[in-house]
Amino acid sequence: MAGRKRCQSFRNVALAMAVAVGLFAPLVMIVPAAQAQTFQVIHAFTGGSDGGNPLGRLSIDGGGHLYGTTYAGGVPYDGGYGVVFKMSPVGSGWTFSPIYTFSPSGDGGDPAAGVLFGPDGILYGTTSNGGTVFTVRPSATRPPTVLSPWTLNFLYDFSPFTVYPAGDVVFDSAGNIYGATSTGGGRGCFNNEGCGTVYELTPSAGGWIETTLYAFQGGSDGAGPVGVTFDSAGNLIGVAESGGTKDDGVIFQLTRSGDSWTESVLYNFDSQGNGGYAPQAGLVSDASGNFYGSTVASSGYSGVIFELSPSNGGWTYNVLAQIPGQYRFGPNAPLTMDAAGNLYGTIGTRDSNELPGAVFKVTRGSDGWTFTSLHDFTSGSDGCCSASTVAIGANGNLYGTAIYGGPNCLPIGCGVVWEIAP
pLDDT 10s digits, 45-64: 999 999 999 998 999 999 99
Q: Any idea what DSSP says for residue 362?
A: E
pLDDT over 90 at 356, yes or no: no
Instruction: Judge contact between 404 and 398, C-beta under 8 A.
Output: no
Kindly state the average pLDDT of the residues 365-375: 93
pLDDT over 60 at 33, yes or no: no
pLDDT over 50 at 166, yes or no: yes
Report phi then psi at 9, rounded to 5. Answer: -165, 165
Please tell me the predicted confidence (pLDDT) of residue 32. Answer: 39
pLDDT over 80 at 168, yes or no: yes
DSSP string, 283-301: -EE-TTS-EEEE-SBBTTB
Please tell me the predicted confidence (pLDDT) of residue 162. Answer: 77
CA dihedral 269, 271, 275, 277 (to 10 degrees): 60
Please tell me the predicted confidence (pLDDT) of residue 103. Answer: 84
Q: Any idea what DSSP says for residue 57?
A: B
Residue type, 251: I
- Give the tens place of pLDDT for each residue, 330-349: 898 999 999 999 999 999 86
DSSP string, 148-195: S--EEEEEEE-SSTT--EEEEEEE-TTS-EEEEESS-SSS-STTTT-S
Instruction: Judge contact between 276 and 269, C-beta under 8 A.
Output: yes
Q: How confident is the model at residue 325 (pLDDT cuts 50, 70, 90)?
A: confident
**Cis bond upstream, residue 76 (ω within 30):** no
174 class by beta-carbon count within 10 Å (0-12 exposed, 13-18 middle, 19+ buried): exposed
Cβ count within 10 A of residue 287:
8
Kindly state the average pLDDT of the residues 32-44: 75
The beta-strand segments (E) located in 231-326 are 236-242, 250-257, 260-268, 284-285, 291-294, 304-311, 314-322
Residues in CB range of 116: below 8 A, 6 or more apart: 57, 59, 123, 124, 125, 168, 169
Please tell me the predicted confidence (pLDDT) of residue 141. Answer: 59
- Helix ranges (H only) for 7-158 are 10-21
Cβ count within 10 A of residue 303:
27
pLDDT over 80 at 10, yes or no: no
- Give the tens place of pLDDT for each residue, 73-132: 997 767 789 999 999 999 989 999 999 999 877 667 899 899 999 999 999 999 988 899
| pTM summary value | 0.89
pLDDT mean across residues, the chain: 87
Cβ count within 10 A of residue 97:
18
Alpha-carbon distance of 318 to 305, in angstroms, equals: 9
Q: How confident is the model at residue 417 (pLDDT cuts 50, 70, 90)?
A: very high
pLDDT over 50 at 9, yes or no: no
Q: How confident is the model at residue 5 (pLDDT cuts 50, 70, 90)?
A: very low
Please tell me the predicted confidence (pLDDT) of residue 79. Answer: 77
Please tell me the predicted confidence (pLDDT) of residue 1. Answer: 38
More confident residue, 367 or 416: 416
Ordered by start, the domain boundaries in the chain are: 64-163
Distance from the Cα of residue 243 to its chain's centroid: 20
| CA-to-CA dists, residue 262 to 62, 198, 259, 315, 361, angstroms | 38, 11, 10, 17, 35
Please tell me the predicted confidence (pLDDT) of residue 378. Answer: 92
| CA-to-CA dists, residue 238 to 58, 189, 320, angstroms | 21, 19, 19
More confident residue, 309 or 21: 309
Alpha-carbon distance of 266 to 287, in angstroms, equals: 20
Kindly state the average pLDDT of the residues 313-319: 95
Beta bridge mates, 215: 197
- Give the tens place of pLDDT for each residue, 244-271: 999 999 999 999 998 899 999 999 999 9
Kindly state the average pLDDT of the residues 266-295: 95
Q: How confident is the model at residue 147 (pLDDT cuts 50, 70, 90)?
A: low
Instruction: Judge contact between 198 and 254, C-beta under 8 A.
Output: yes
